[in-house]
Structure 1
Amino acid sequence: MTSIFQRALGADFERLHPRIQRRFSVGLDSGEACTGRGVMDRVWHGGGWVRPFLALGGTRHILVPRAGRDIPFTIENVPFRDSFGRETVTFVRTFAFPDGPRRFDATMVFSPERDRVVDYLGTHQHLATDLDLSVDRTGALVIRSGRHRFREGPVDVRVPDLIGGDAHVRESFDVEAGRFRIQVSVTNRRFGPLFGYEGSFTASYTDATAHGVRADLRPVREEVRA
């Protein structure tokens, strides 16, 4: 078995920088969890009109309704098997703002039917997003979001582009600094920039088999539909 990211990228996985390869090899097969700790140089959001939407999303740990500079940051990537038997990796980001921490939660699985990683956003996995993964010429991992779907009970609808957001993520390794660098932006096709952050962090690895996944990292509700 390989990690969900290796399955999605195929042979291109070997083109990633070796340090990026290890970070995205986290999974049940590797038995490792990864914790990144660093500082986001900038956390930003769009104009005032977007704040109510970010505040609403923040109640379910989707996006972050705050902005600031030099914000301490942690990302926790822990593999586990969910209640449907799928290998799942947490992407729980915590931003330590002066007025209190804010979280941006996601859990990721590989969908054999879609042949790609599916990103469930928030504490209740209400939003499912297809991810397109690629490797740039520097060995950085580039992630672009695809179609968003809202799932709750019998409801299963595509999120209209008018209210959706296109995410672009680039994670690289800075050899001279010895740090990972991350750039994230979420943009609405009509209204423009919604939210983003950029900064750097270092990574440490722990035995996921021995420690398991903390309850607060798992979603409150799990969605079987990918």
Structure 2
Amino acid sequence: MSIYKRVMGKDFYQLHPMLQKRYEIQRGISFKGTGMMESITGGPKWLYPLFWIGVKFRLLFPEHGENIPFKIVNTSETGRNGEEQIRWERTFYFGSKKRYFNALMSLDSERKIIKDYLGEPHLFYSDLSLHVTTEGALKISSNRQRLVLGRLEIPLPTLFQGLATVTEKYLEEKDVYLIHVKVRNPLIGTLFSYEGEFTADDIS
């Protein structure tokens, strides 16, 4: 049983069937998809030094634009302590440049949340909560966050957090997954966002 199915319980079955299939990622199963991001936006230019640090950690990037080719790969792995982990590799193609927004997720069964370590190597940590909308879409929200410095994890005050909201749905008319991701800071506003569509190349 996937970590997403375990954390959502019976609500998992309220998702659109194609979203259930997509998030039934467990040992021996992976998901690969390609598509196009209709729009990618970023924060103010004075934050570009932060975005360039993000490039090194495969997390954030300064580029933005429209109609950007996109690839996503979700792979199940086993962590050092034996726990199941899902690696998220999201690649954006700006001409000859590749930019990434990668993460490693696992389950905290006691608190009933998904643990999300962002970047490679990890730079930030977020608690994730998952909910189903009335139309069968999946909404993911980040909550408590920490800065990760090697083995040291420092809790971040709310004013320094980049809180993410992800909405993913399935559009039957086009046979595509629709994705909208927005990362916001309480003071600055939107730090990073993208939205578009992708199709499943492989679920195996």
Normalization by structure 1: what TM-score? 0.86
> Which of 79, 87, 95 is the equivalent residue of 1:98?
95
Alpha-carbon displacement from aligned partner over 1:65-97 (angstroms, at most 9, x marks no partner)? 210111100010010112221101111100010
Q: Does 1:134 align with 2:131?
A: yes
What is the match of residue 42 of structure 2?
45
Answer with 83-92 or 11-20: which moved more.
83-92
Amino acid at match of 2:6: R
Contact 2:138 2:168 in 1 (8 A): yes
Aligned residue for 2:177, secondary structure, equals strand
What is the match of residue 110 of structure 2?
113
Question: Post-superposition shift, 1:155?
Answer: 2.5
Aligned residue for 1:14, secondary structure, equals helix
Q: Does 1:21 align with 2:24?
A: no
How many corresponding residue pairs? Answer: 204
Q: Which has the higher strand share?
A: 2
Unpaired runs of 5+ residues, structure 1, are: 208-226
Q: Tell me which stretches of 4 or more aligned residues in structure 1 moved more than 4 Å.
A: none
Normalization by structure 2: what TM-score? 0.95
Q: Does 1:70 align with 2:58?
A: no
Aligned residue for 1:162, secondary structure, equals helix
Aligned residue for 1:78, secondary structure, equals strand
Contact 2:57 2:122 in 1 (8 A): no
What is the match of residue 141 of structure 2?
144
Q: Does 1:3 align with 2:20?
A: no
Say what the alpha-carbon RMSD is for the aligned residues. Answer: 1.3
Amino acid at match of 1:23: R
Question: Post-superposition shift, 1:153?
Answer: 4.5
Alpha-carbon displacement from aligned partner over 1:143-189 (angstroms, at most 9, x marks no partner)? 00011112334533101222210101000000001100000000101
Contact 2:22 2:203 in 1 (8 A): no
Question: Post-superposition shift, 1:22?
Answer: 0.6
What is the match of residue 55 of structure 1?
52
Q: Does 1:123 align with 2:99?
A: no
Contact 2:57 2:123 in 1 (8 A): no
Aligned residue for 2:179, secondary structure, equals strand
> Which of 157, 182, 188 is the equivalent residue of 1:160?
157
Amino acid at match of 2:15: L
Alpha-carbon displacement from aligned partner over 1:190-220 (angstroms, at most 9, x marks no partner)? 111100100000013354xxxxxxxxxxxxx
Answer with 90-99 or 172-181: which moved more.
90-99
Contact 1:32 1:205 in 2 (8 A): no
What is the match of residue 183 of structure 1?
180
Amino acid at match of 2:80: S
> Which of 183, 186, 199 is the equivalent residue of 1:202?
199
Q: Distance in 2 between matches of 1:102 and 1:153?
A: 23
Unpaired runs of 5+ residues, structure 2, are: none
